[in-house]
Amino acid sequence: MLRLYDMARAPNPRRVRWFAAEKAIALETIEIDIVSGANLGADYLAINPRGVVPTLLLADGSILDESVAICRYLEGLHPEPNLMGRDGLEMAQIERWQRRMEFDGLFNIAAVFRNTAPAYATRGMPGVLPPTPAIPELAVRGALLAGDWLDQLDQRLATAPFVAGDRFSIADITAAIAVDFGKWVNIRVGDARPHVARWLANVKARPAARA
Ligand SMILES: N[C@@H](CCC(=O)N[C@@H](CS)C(=O)NCC(=O)O)C(=O)O
């Protein structure tokens, strides 16, 4: 069984767990407590010198990090159900939307979290880096941009059942996890984004969403 270095509450590892669960891929999960800094300790850095999760340990002892890269590997191992596109155009469309959900949504919400949470006062960015103090202005900008992302997502979901079009894909996983992460910093869907609310209830009803 593949081993995933994980943190149950953290958004990026959750993307991989949900993706794997859609494909019924069993993963052995090892919990790494980021808040206490276990990801920055010698034991974990011997596994992944970047000090980030998720990390997938492969059978030959090598590792993969970056959530989407891990998902790409799992998609290759278990092509069905397809979550990343069947031909060049569909792959490009799904990637386009996945990246927008990641950079416009997840990244901006993470900026709010990391620049306001006391535990990260000197850890403004994930993993092994020189001390990076929190910058309160980044939280302000992140909240503004995350709100705009939610508005754009609502417009998209007014005309498409899923983020990348007519079927469920990795773009929905990233988007739903970003929306959930937003609640941590009081960025909420609210009543003004009914299409996001409807879509979120739909995708979170999938059994794999509980992974
Ligand atoms: N781009 C990476 C981001 C990974 C990342 O930021 N992971 C967070 C947890 S959600 C982390 O490892 N944080 C470590 C820290 O805060 O030091 C991915 O997609 O996997």
- Dump pLDDT digits (tens) for 8-22: 999 999 999 999 999
Token digits of residue 133: 């103090």
Band (32; pLDDT cuts 50, 70, 90): very high
Mean pLDDT of 91-120: 97
Distance of CA 191 from the midpoint of ligand 1 (Å): 30
Residue of 47, 52, 68, 115 best suited for mutating to test ligand 1, as the one with most atoms within 8 Å of CB: 52
CA distance 61 to 47: 9
Closest CA to 67 of 80, 83, 79: 83
- Index of the ligand 1 atom closest to the CA of residue 127: 17
Q: How many CB atoms lie within 10 A of CB 183?
A: 11
pLDDT at residue 6, as a whole number: 98
Distance of CA 51 from the midpoint of ligand 1 (Å): 8
Distance of CA 158 from the midpoint of ligand 1 (Å): 31
Residue 194 half-sphere exposure, CB side, CA atoms within 13 Å? 2
Q: How far apart, in Å, are the Cα atoms of 80 and each of 20, 23, 74, 77?
A: 11, 7, 10, 9
pLDDT at residue 190, as a whole number: 95
pTM: 0.98
- Index of the ligand 1 atom closest to the CA of residue 40: 17
pLDDT at residue 117, as a whole number: 95
Cα 47 off chain centre by: 21
CB 207 within 8 Å of CB 135: no
Mean pLDDT of 186-196: 97
Band (147; pLDDT cuts 50, 70, 90): very high
Residue of 6, 9, 12 best suited for mutating to test ligand 1, as the one with most atoms within 8 Å of CB: 12
Mean pLDDT of 85-110: 98
pLDDT at residue 23, as a whole number: 98
pLDDT at residue 27, as a whole number: 97
For residue 56, list its beta bridge partners: 4, 64
Ligand 1 atom 11, closest CA: 52
pLDDT at residue 152, as a whole number: 98
Ligand 1 site, CB within 6 A:
10-12, 34, 39, 51-54, 65-67, 123, 126-127
Band (127; pLDDT cuts 50, 70, 90): very high
Q: Where are the alpha helices (DSSP H) in 161-193?
A: 170-184
CB 22 within 8 Å of CB 64: no
Token digits of residue 189: 């869907």
- Index of the ligand 1 atom closest to the CA of residue 70: 20
Ligand 1 atom 14, closest CA: 126
Q: What is the largest CA-CA distance in the chain?
A: 50
Tell me the pairing of strands 63-65 and 2-6.
Answer: unpaired
Band (90; pLDDT cuts 50, 70, 90): very high
pLDDT at residue 154, as a whole number: 98
Distance of CA 123 from the midpoint of ligand 1 (Å): 12
Contacts (Cβ under 8 Å, ≥6 apart) of 72: 84
Burial of 89 (C-beta count, 10 Å sphere; 0-12/13-18/19+): exposed
Cα 120 off chain centre by: 19
